[in-house]
Amino acid sequence: MSAAFPDTCQLWQVDLFGESTAIYLLDPAEQNRAARFRFERDRRRFVNSRIALRKILATYLDRDPAQLRFHIGEYGRPSFSDASLQFNITHSEDLALIAVTAQGPLGVDLESVREIDCVLELARRYLHPNEILLLEAAAPADRSEIFLSCWVRKEAVLKSTGAGLTLDTRLLDVGATRDAKTLNLPGFPALRVTSLEPVQGFIAALATAPAVRKFELRRFDP
């Protein structure tokens, strides 16, 4: 991606089912992490997502996927020291999303649509008071999806800051809707959070610099 297109974020859809034969692309730390997964399903999803990440980023950087070296942040987020390319990755079940843009900050999150037990109790524990009011006013049948829409927006924002869940989610008013919203968090650059539905049955959100206005959804072909 060229810095000449600072208003664009490309979002790659990656299917995580199936066994990859390209595990040799992973570095020793990634291979060791893969070996520690207790369940084969989780190991497969991790391996496939990291292979896809390496192949996608290599196309932007014109490098060998196996030669990419990531910096792992304090909260486990991979990044490059080269700030000209920003990326973030998320997965839910057998679907991953990889967001790439020419400027940061950047965060992406994904959840499968499902019923949430005790959704109002969870909302009162994790959501902003304004978001709780909107959720309480919604029809009971809609509350789980509204909560998930709100949650992925929070996660995307938190991932974009690099601080993860060390920030109190109750202080983040990202909106319990799917409308785009600009946030100004103390100590962090301005963010624009946008809700997306990449495929049926999943909800996603992106947190980007406010200048990013275009989103291109692409499908990764291994």
Amino acid occupying residue 140: P
With a threshold of 0.85, does the pTM exceed it? yes
Amino acid occupying residue 179: D
Domain that holds residue 109: 8-219
Q: Residue 3 pLDDT > 60, yes or no?
A: no
Amino acid occupying residue 62: D
Highest mean pLDDT, choosing among 20-29, 131-140, 208-217: 131-140
- 78 vs 111 pLDDT, higher one: 111
Give the CA angle between residues 132, 137, 140 to the nearest 5°: 100
Which CATH number fits the domain that encloses residue 177? Answer: 3.90.470.20
Instruction: Provide the number of structural domains found in the chain.
Output: 1
Letter string b/e over residues 10-32, b meaning 16 or more CB atoms within 10 A of that residue's CB: bbbbbebeeebeeeebbeeebee
Residue 55 covered by a domain: yes
Q: What is the pLDDT of residues 188-200, one digit of tens each?
A: 889 999 999 999 9
Residue 100 covered by a domain: yes
Q: What is the pLDDT of residues 125-150, one digit of tens each?
A: 999 999 999 999 999 999 999 999 99
